[in-house]
Amino acid sequence: MMSLPFVLFACGLGAAWTSRRVAALGFWVAGVLMLLVLFRMHATDVLNIAL
Amino acid sequence: MTPNLSRLLNALGLVAVDTVLVLAFVDQLWFRDLPCPLCILQRAGFVAAGFGLALNLILGPRPSHYGVMILGAVAGVVVSVRQILLHIVPGSGSYGNAILDLHLYSWALIAFSLIIIGSAIMLLFDRQFAATERDRLKVLPVSAVVLFVSLVVANVVSTLAICGVGLCPETPGGYLIFNDNLSLTLLGQPL
């Protein structure tokens, strides 16, 4: 699951190399969203700081 | 700025991102410093930002490709700031090796900030976006893109080896893929 962003980015690069720009951008958006979802799942501890 | 100069600068930028990803692998493989989940996500942030550079090289420079770089770097900033805040209080420990007195997540924040600033500066030069006949890619841009793609694929393999197909352990103790209980690892179950 943690490797999914890299898989999506790799697919996006493949699409870009074959001149499918929209598909490349679509894979990139999916990769960034996956990155943020995984970040949310891992950032569960309360930070020990007072802002 | 001519399209050719823009392409050269984008190639050099992608070489810089490639270098960061290579150094992360050197730290992982040579110094046996396994990446934590947030470290892996920061690598993904560098790939997300480098994606814009690769698009500029493969498909030609566009403002939207610089937007891809900036948004990818912002995602990386979010992750690196979170990790810095986890360890910012004295006595709260740290993760991994320090290089020149800064841990890798602090260096990552600096690198992501430089990517954002660099992209903003590149966006100031409109002539690079003029529609011209594009030359064939030269050696440096092709090498940078090929190395970038290779590093992305290497990160897929590395992350699978460390985390299996589930979420990563908060403090990885080894490569799960080499664990005796491989079937459970592949199912993403706790070992």
Poorest-pLDDT segment among A2-6, B66-70, B97-101, B119-123: B97-101
Q: Chain B partners of A17 at a C-beta cutoff of 8 Å?
A: 58, 145
Chain A interface mutation, best of B17, B21, B36, B47, highest count of A Cβ atoms under 10 Å:
B47
Task: Kindly report the pTM of this predicted structure.
Answer: 0.89
Q: Across the interface, do A28 and B155 touch by the CB < 8 Å criterion?
A: no
Does the residue B169 lie in any domain? no
Chain centroid, CA B187 distance in Å:
27
Does the residue B65 lie in any domain? yes
Number of domains in chain B: 1
User: Given B86, B88, B188, which is nearest A1 (Cβ)?
Assistant: B188
Does the residue B129 lie in any domain? yes
| Nearest by Cα to A6 from A40, A36, A24, A31 | A31
Distance (Å, whole) CA B77 – CA B42: 8
Does the residue B85 lie in any domain? yes
Q: Which residue has the tokens 């997540």?
A: B105
What domain range is B105 assigned to?
3-137
pLDDT > 70 fraction of chain A, expressed in percent and rounded: 100
pLDDT band for B134, please (50, 70, 90 cuts): low
Which residues 127-166 of B are in CB contact (within 8 Å) with A?
145, 148-149, 152-153, 155-156, 159-160, 162-163, 165-166
**CATH code of B19's domain:** 1.20.1550
pLDDT band for B183, please (50, 70, 90 cuts): very low
Question: Is A42's pLDDT higher than 90?
Answer: no
Mean pLDDT of B22-30: 92
User: Given B41, B47, B85, which is nearest A47 (Cβ)?
Assistant: B85
Better pLDDT: B77 or B176: B77
Question: Is B182's pLDDT higher than 70?
Answer: no
Residues 6+ apart with CB under 8 A from B79: A35, A39, B38, B41, B42, B45, B108
User: Given B45, B92, B168, which is nearest A2 (Cβ)?
Assistant: B168
Which of left, alpha, beta for B91 (phi over 0: left; psi -120 to 50: alpha)? left
Distance (Å, whole) CA B101 – CA B98: 6
Does the residue B11 lie in any domain? yes
User: What is the tens place of the pLDDT at every residue in B79-106?
Assistant: 999 999 988 888 777 777 778 888 899 9
Does the residue B181 lie in any domain? no
Output the six-digit token pair for B172. Answer: 């990885």
Mean pLDDT of B1-11: 89
**Which H or E run contains A40?**
helix A21-42
